[in-house]
Structure 1
Amino acid sequence: MVLRILKSEGYETLQALSGEEGIKMAELFKPDLIIMDVVLPGLNGFQATRQLKKNLETKDIPVIIVSGNAQATEQFWVLKIGAVDFMTKPFSKKDLIAKLNDHLGRKLPMGN
């Protein structure tokens, strides 16, 4: 769903299928922003984000954590490990684009 939304809005996207793959891709491609699900094979989203934030090559890449769990403790840990934001699934296209615009410094299109 996220990839489809981003592509429909003209964003260039990459997809990693595990935390480890995401870390390697971040080191290689230096994306403007990472959307990280908590539930991933191998390293989970918290562990992968923690590693990204400890790495000099990737520490400045903003990470938005996505989870189906809206508990306050999960949101607390998201910010503690260095992510810039948290989104609870399900979320709307408008909410996703607004978060991206906030963290990438873009304006939300008038039609959305």
Structure 2
Amino acid sequence: MAGEPLVLVVEDEPAQREVLAYNIRAEGYSVITAAAGDEALVMVRETPPDVIVLDWMLPSVSGIEVCRQLKTGAETSKIPVIMLSARSEEVDRVRGLETGADDYVVKPYSVAELLARLRTQLRRSRPGAVTDQLAFEDITLDMAEHRVFRDGEQISLGPTEFRLLTAFMERPGRVWSREQLLDRVWGRDIYVDSRTVDVHVGRLRKALKSGGTQEDPIRTVRGAGYALG
């Protein structure tokens, strides 16, 4: 299949479905959505996606049953499935994986973590469709190896600063509000004070200027938020 990778999001909660679809489209992928299990099964057979993001708790047919049917179907068994669930017990995770899910993500999750897992599955189903590296001016970010370089020198970043920089580098020039960064980096269902964003942006700036001579690539947009470049 040529063109952008196609992702099917199956989630019965409208707000969650909208947030997932928005963020996945922002990655440059095409998205189709379903609100129920039986609807998802029909859509997969009509328009096979490259990856399915599938909620466990669905009306009509559960996510587990959808996954089971897809993985036992000759034409759909190889489509990667990322299961989303509020069930965090090991027995539930094992059940999800044994049903055939390729990955299992516990709610609440950060959008950045889910997108990273989505990229991993896309590398399997669409090799070459997903880039592992982002570059902006003299900064290079390797998502697969979780490493950042500036002017050829490796920079040490914590997990949150790495996710922040990933968001900035995926959309250079875009102004991100604190609320948008909270949703993207920490996750919509996790309460974090917006001032926490300022703290981590400060740490990221310090790390990126660790050489002492480089300019600060992140600009503060008064009353709006932050942008790269």
- TM-score class normalised by the smaller sequence: over 0.9
TM-score by length of 2: 0.47
Q: Distance in 1 between matches of 2:97 and 2:111?
A: 23
Amino acid of the structure 2 residue aligned with 1:79: L
Q: Distance in 1 between matches of 2:56 and 2:111?
A: 19
Q: Distance in 1 between matches of 2:105 and 2:133?
A: 18
Give yes or no for contact 1:67–1:88 (8 Å, CA) kept in 2: yes
Please, which of 9, 29, 52 is the counterpart of residue 34 of structure 1? Answer: 52
SS of 2:115's partner is helix
Cα distance, 1:108 vs structure 2: 6.0
SS of 1:25's partner is helix
Higher mean alpha-carbon deviation, 75-84 vs 1-10, is at 1-10
| Pair 1:101 & 2:89 matched | no
| Pair 1:90 & 2:108 matched | yes
Q: Distance in 1 between matches of 2:70 and 2:28?
A: 26
Q: Unmatched 5+ residue regions in structure 1?
A: none
Q: Distance in 1 between matches of 2:64 and 2:28?
A: 28
Determine the structure 2 residue equivalent to 1:66: 84
Determine the structure 1 residue equivalent to 2:29: 11
Residue-by-residue CA offset, 1:13-56 (whole Å, 9 max, x unaligned): 01011111111111111100000000111011001100111111
Give yes or no for contact 1:37–1:45 (8 Å, CA) kept in 2: yes
User: Identity of counterpart residues, as a percentage?
Assistant: 32
Cα distance, 1:97 vs structure 2: 1.3
SS of 2:32's partner is coil
Higher RCO, 1 or 2 (CA under 8 Å, sep at least 6)? 1
Q: Distance in 1 between matches of 2:38 and 2:76?
A: 13
Q: Distance in 1 between matches of 2:75 and 2:41?
A: 10
Amino acid of the structure 1 residue aligned with 2:24: L
Give yes or no for contact 1:98–1:108 (8 Å, CA) kept in 2: no
SS of 2:105's partner is strand
TM-score by length of 1: 0.93
Aligned length: 112
SS of 1:66's partner is strand
Q: Distance in 2 between matches of 1:44 and 1:70?
A: 17
Amino acid of the structure 2 residue aligned with 1:30: P
Give yes or no for contact 1:97–1:108 (8 Å, CA) kept in 2: no
Runs (4+) off by over 6 Å: none
SS of 2:117's partner is helix
